[in-house]
Amino acid sequence: MRNLKIAIAGLGRIGRIHLGNLCQMKGVEIVAAMDPMEEGRQYAKNKNVPCIVSTYKEMLETTHIDAVIICSPTDTHADYVEMAAKAGINAFCEKPLDLSLERVVEVLEVVAQSNVKLMLGFNRRFDKEFKKVKELVQNGAVGQPHLVKITSRDPGAPPISYIEKSGGLFLDMTIHDFDVARFVVDKEVEEVYAKGAVLIDKAIGEAGDIDTAIVTLTYTDGTMAVIDNSRQASYGYDQRVEVFGSNGMVQSNNNFMDSHKLYNEKGIHAALPLHFFLERYKEAYRIEIQDFISSLGSDSDVPVNGNDGLESLKIGLAAIKSLEENRPVKLAEIC
């Protein structure tokens, strides 16, 4: 069986992680890379990628590609996926596919018509802690789920220049939590109620965003979820999830720099959580891209499809509407 020929678009932080992981995998051949910045192209050169270009179109036309890994800025995702689909090329795309619901639907129709595979990069599904929670819930360990609690707090806010283009907290940060909320209990969300504030940096508010939020989700069966977000946790990257049910509760906690505990007259002291997402989800990034490659090799379904991205986007748009109108919003209103 021949190697799958893989290209990568965008060599920022995430693109470099994916390229590094792909270079360690059997059955794949990195045939091309593109990045408009010289720094990104030099990184690909250092990884011995044979074809390195500065535009996506040139990359697709230069050599045969079985699949493309899209890690470029959000505003390019929809166009890049659509171009790949029309060329008969499978795609893995970092979230979100687009900030416009209409554009996402349009691209997913092109993907379906082109009969190619599309996987969205919701990497937290591949984290061993979150996967264990889902496995126990699926196996009935907590009985019937009643409440889901998700905490997601970053160690520091991104640059204002990023916030201005990201779609805001609900679409660049909480969208991962919306996906986890669907994933761990395998249920669909019916209603969203969001509250938010600017408590960390007034410049974030001036850019039209919030930095602190609580979102309540109601699933179609009446089960509820609560998500709390902050752009800045002084103690590091805080990532926890809990499912409470009729027969018990399952929790996953943070991963820490090490497991030591110091006991003295001042109390009990331990290491801080891993600093940020690159460290916390390092292994999850490897597993998700491996699962994408495996789905291509076995012609099986991808583990995170375009509809998963669409549903999370709908929840995010409902959260924005809820915050603006100070009321619960049904997902049926988002169309």
pTM of the predicted protein model? 0.92
From CA 63, how far away is CA 60, in angstroms rounded?
7
The CA distance from 226 to 224, in Å, is: 7
Paired strand residues for 191 = 218, 330
pLDDT at 110: 98
User: What is the Cα–Cα distance from 321 to 335, expressed in whole angstroms?
Assistant: 12
Whole-number pLDDT of residue 218: 98
Q: What is the Cα–Cα distance from 67 to 22, expressed in whole angstroms?
A: 12
Q: What is the pLDDT of residue 278?
A: 65
Single-letter amino acid, residue 150: I
Packing angle of the helix pair 74-86, 101-114 (nearest 10 deg): 20
Q: Using the predicted structure, report yes or no on whether residue 279 has a pLDDT greater than 90.
A: no
Q: Which string of b and e fits 237-265 if b means at least 16 CB within 10 Å?
A: bbbbbbbebeeebbebebbeeeeeeeeee
Predicted local confidence at residue 180, as pLDDT:
97
pLDDT level of residue 111 (50, 70, 90 thresholds): very high
Before 96, cis peptide (omega within 30)?
yes
Count of beta carbons in the 10 Å neighbourhood of residue 86: 14
Q: What structural domains and CATH numbers belong to the chain?
A: 4-116 (3.40.50.720), 125-280+312-333 (3.30.360.10)
Q: Which pLDDT score, from 0 to 100, does residue 165 have? A: 86
The answer to whether residue 2 scores a pLDDT higher than 90 is no
pLDDT digits (tens, 9 = 90+) for 147-193: 999 999 999 999 999 898 889 999 999 999 999 999 999 999 999 99
